[in-house]
Homo-oligomer: A and B are copies of this chain.
Amino acid sequence: MDVLVAYDVATDDAEGRRRLRHVATICLNYGQRVQKSVFECTLNEVQYEQMKHHLVETIDASKDSLRIYRLPARREGYVEHFGQNATVDFDGPLVV
């Protein structure tokens, strides 16, 4: 199945920034980053449950938000993209 993962992690302290890095790393293991805090993943049911388990264990439910959407089975046409390329590596080195 195709799923979309979107998160807001509260980064007002070092612990929050650590959670943000951890959440991003988990998502990178399962899918493709399309925006700073949005990933698209093609998963089977086992991978889906694994990813969800890791994410839920990582976030602070009292501060962060995690939403996982199941996308329509037919990939064509369910998303329209405008603007900057979706495959930017936001975790990569910043080259000025």
Contact = CB atoms under 8 A, between A and B. Distances in A.
Contacts of A79: 67-70
Nearest to A56: B82
Q: With a 10 A CB-CB cut-off, give which of A8, A59, A72 has the most chain B CB atoms.
A: A8
**Interface size of A as a range:** 35 or more
Interface string A65-96: 11111111000011111111110000000000
B63 A83 contact: yes
A66 B38 contact: no
Contact of A63 (B65, B81, B84): B84
Interface of A: 4, 6-8, 10, 34-38, 52, 55-56, 59-72, 77-86
